[in-house]
Structure 1
Amino acid sequence: MQETRQAARSRRRRRRLMVGTAAGLVVTGLLVCLAMAMQTDPKKDAGRAPATTVADAQGTRPPTSPGEKPSTASPSTASPSAASPTAKAGGTTPKASATKSAAQSSATPRTAPATASLTGRIRPKVDYRGVATAYKAGTGDGACSFGPSADLMIAAMNTTDYETSKACGAYVLVRAANGATVRVRITNECPLPCAPGQLDLSEQAFAKLAALSTGRIAITWSLLSPSTSDTISIRYKTGSNPYWCGIQAIGHRNPLARLEVRTSSGWRQLARTDYNYFLSPGGSGCGGAIRITDIYGERLTVNGIGLRPGAVQPTRLQFARH
């Protein structure tokens, strides 16, 4: 009987162990499932990471080479739009500066930027059409700052073709519809409303073509390279000194394209004003050798011109006839 009771107790202990083990396994399984449920799906996370990178970098950063640090520049600074102009030396200016220049235009002379073209708007062997009007020329002085003219066969060029004084000193043959002609020298500027192609002739020159009472006539005109016994003179502007100077060439047969001064670093091209002086605002080259070039590309070097403001100093030089 005692053995029977011991066997029964052993069976009951085994059942309790089995039930406890099963319960433990169930609890463990539940805990494992719960832990797995709380974790994120690594595949989904792996898919989200590239999407976030693309969104952050869309259109801003190109791929980088191994070992290269990615650029932190924004799109506007790293890669300017192809439609936007890029600034060049001596070229475009910020809007603020442009506004300032416009506000000061009455006090600051216009200057012509250096260009590759020597001829500008007025070219040899080209006939230009326009109209002629007349004005009282007085002594013949005008925007070109040449001073009184020896004769009054002169004209004012419209602002467009005047081209920041590039037309100054040019000789022009003017033809009227009636066949009459007159040769004039450009000494002045005809402001708006003078249109491109228009010449405002001195009354003396206009009278060679038609009666002054006509007031306005159709013309054609072309550039000349005339025969002349004159030689070129150089004048430093009043107020010029070793630290600032303006230089002008007078009496040139052909229109002047460039004026340069010799400096310690070589020839330096000066900017031309609308009153027909070439300026060296820092004084570079003032009082030294001067080189002038006409629209045909001929260069003449002028030596021995002293820094004497206001004095007209003659040379023995003249451009070739064309």
Structure 2
Amino acid sequence: MQETRRAARQRRRRRGLMVGSAAGLAVTGLLVCLVITMQPDGSRNAGPAPATAVADSQETPAPTSPEKKPATASPSAASATPSAGTASPTASATTPKASATPSAVPTSASPRTATATSSLAGRIRPKSTYQGVATVYQAGVGDGACSYGPSDDMMIAAMNTTDYETSAACGAYVLVRAANGASVTVKITNECPLPCAPGQLDLSEQAFAKLVPVSTGRIAITWSLLSSDTAGTISIRYKIGSSAYWCGIQAIGHRNPLARLEVRTSGGWRQLTRTDYNYFLSPDGSGCGGAIRLTDIYGERLTVNGIAVRPDVVQPTGVQFARH
């Protein structure tokens, strides 16, 4: 009997333990459910990824936002970011191009002034200083390649072939300066052939002596073009052999270098070709004996009428170019 009671007590204890264990398990399960319920779900745990995507989407419209492009800090700040930096230099490169256009306007405007001078002047241009050497030659009676003939004024010089430029330098007045401070004004009447170098002037003995003793032979100089204040009026001369069928025309005594010589024909003004001996030729005789129009390197035009075809006769015109 006692053993029967003891076995019954043990069975009750085991049932109590089982019930307690079951209850404990139930409570544990309930707690687990509560924890799971309060925990964020999987889509919220993935929240940082969409947040990053949102940040990316905010950067995507940034290049298209026009407000930040005009800001001065924008290009420099963007240049620190490689992706934005690529777009930013493009925008900043566009800005210099736009700003270069206005700066190009003054640049192209300054040649406009030069158009009336430098384009007609050729190599020897007003308001320019040239460096070279001065040598000396015996000028004789003063005649030379420019075909002016003998001269009473021996302040003359021969221009090197390059700057002579097919007689374009003929009649030009040039101020020559030496290193010692001495200077002399000469008229170009001749050509100094090779080996005379660009910038070189071969002065008459009389002109060279105004700078240094003739025995010096060769000195460094600078020279510049002058618009002479001593010139009288211009004369016209037809070349020997000229007629109504062929003629050569020369202008003498022009204050400024001559850029063009034209003759009036039935078809209008015709520009004649200049020779290296300083005559302008009309090979077919058109315009010979008619009106002549002279243009200097500054663009001034003088029209001369009434000059007959009289070969080798110097005929005055009474006109002269303005001084500059």
After TM superposition, is the score higher than 0.5?
A: yes
- Does 2:138 correspond to 1:132? no
Q: In 2, Cα distance between the equivalents of 1:125 and 1:170?
A: 14
Structure 1 residue runs of 4+, over 3 Å off? Answer: none
Aligned to 2:210: 208
Aligned to 2:292: 290
Aligned to 2:189: 187
Q: In 1, Cα distance between the equivalents of 2:275 and 2:269?
A: 19
SS at the partner of 2:269? strand
Identity %: 83
Q: In 1, Cα distance between the equivalents of 2:153 and 2:322?
A: 23
Counterpart selection for 1:301 from 300, 303, 308: 303
SS at the partner of 1:243? coil
Please list, as runs of the form range in 1=range in 2, the aligned pairs for 1:67-82 lying within 5 A after superposition: none
Q: CA deviation at 1:229?
A: 4.9
Aligned to 1:175: 177
Counterpart selection for 1:249 from 248, 251, 273: 251
Q: CA deviation at 1:226?
A: 1.5
Give TM-score scaled by structure 2 length.
0.63
Deviations 1:19-68 (Å, cap 9, x if unpaired)?
xxxxxxxxxxxxxxxxxxxxxxxxxxxxxxxxxxxxxxxxxxxxxxxxxx
Q: CA deviation at 1:228?
A: 2.3
Q: In 1, Cα distance between the equivalents of 2:208 and 2:196?
A: 16
Aligned to 1:146: 148
Q: CA deviation at 1:213?
A: 1.1
Counterpart selection for 2:167 from 165, 168, 171: 165
Q: 1:275 to 1:229 in 2, by over 3 A?
A: closer
Give unmatched runs, 5+ long, in structure 1.
Answer: 1-115
Deviations 1:262-304 (Å, cap 9, x if unpaired)?
0000000000000000000000100000000000000000001
Q: In 2, Cα distance between the equivalents of 1:314 and 1:213?
A: 40
Counterpart of 2:228 in structure 1: which amino acid? P
Aligned to 2:198: 196
SS at the partner of 2:142? coil
Counterpart of 1:283 in structure 2: which amino acid? G
Q: Count residues with an aligned counterpart.
A: 207
Deviations 1:163-188 (Å, cap 9, x if unpaired)?
00000000000000000000000000
Give unmatched runs, 5+ long, in structure 2.
Answer: 1-117
Q: CA RMSD in A?
A: 0.8
- Does 2:224 correspond to 1:227? no
Counterpart of 1:170 in structure 2: which amino acid? A
SS at the partner of 2:120? coil
Task: Specify which structure has the higher proportion of helix.
Answer: 2
Deviations 1:173-222 (Å, cap 9, x if unpaired)?
00000000000000000000000000000000000000111110000000
Aligned to 1:316: 318
Counterpart of 1:143 in structure 2: which amino acid? A
Please list, as runs of the form range in 1=range in 2, the aligned pairs for 1:34-73 lying within 5 A after superposition: none
SS at the partner of 1:151? coil
Q: In 2, Cα distance between the equivalents of 1:298 and 1:147?
A: 26
Counterpart of 1:259 in structure 2: which amino acid? L
SS at the partner of 1:248? strand
SS at the partner of 1:253? coil
Please list, as runs of the form range in 1=range in 2, the aligned pairs for 1:89-128 lying within 5 A after superposition: 117-128=119-130
